[in-house]
Amino acid sequence: MQPEIIQLPEKKLVGISRSMSFLDYQVGELWQSFMPRRSEIENTVAPDLFHVQVNPLHYYFSPEVVFEKWAALEVSAFTSIPEGMQKLIIPGGRYAVFTYRGDGSDAANFFQSIFTDFLPKANLQWENRPQFEVLGEKYKKSSPDSEELIFIPIQDSNYSMDTIL
């Protein structure tokens, strides 16, 4: 697990959001409502899909804590928002970017290892900003050959890859 640490510029997204928890995970329904309507979004930057999680202010991981999930596309401007969709701004900042490969069956373990193993060993602190996955051209739903990028917001700190190698 070797992420790239980047300074991400602000991102403008348009999409559909839904409140849920890990106990009441409705991500399938979210994407089913978004995918047939994605062509309605104007000023798209690329066809890459954004799967975003926006946590409440004092978020802590617990299966029953409610957060917002988004299915969205990046846009260059908010000139027209389709009815039933919303805009979301992901503030710029530092992110650890991980590449996830696989059919998704071990995604929960992958995320857990980021938060419980990689971040502590690298002396990095998670920051409560939107975290997201970018499902680009290499993404193939439920395929073992699928690939996506996972963006985890981190605080400025004394990061060093030497601490984890």
Question: pLDDT of 60-114, one tens digit each?
Answer: 788 899 999 999 999 999 999 999 999 999 999 999 999 999 998 888 889 889 9
| Fold designation for 4-163 | Multidrug-efflux Transporter 1 Regulator Bmrr; Chain A (3.20.80)
Domain ranges within the chain, ordered by starting residue: 4-163
pLDDT digits (tens, 9 = 90+) for 16-74: 999 999 999 999 999 999 999 999 999 999 999 999 999 998 887 888 999 999 999 99
Q: Max Cα separation, the chain?
A: 49
pTM: 0.90
Cα–Cα separations (whole angstroms), residue 121 to 24, 89, 97, 165: 31, 30, 16, 9
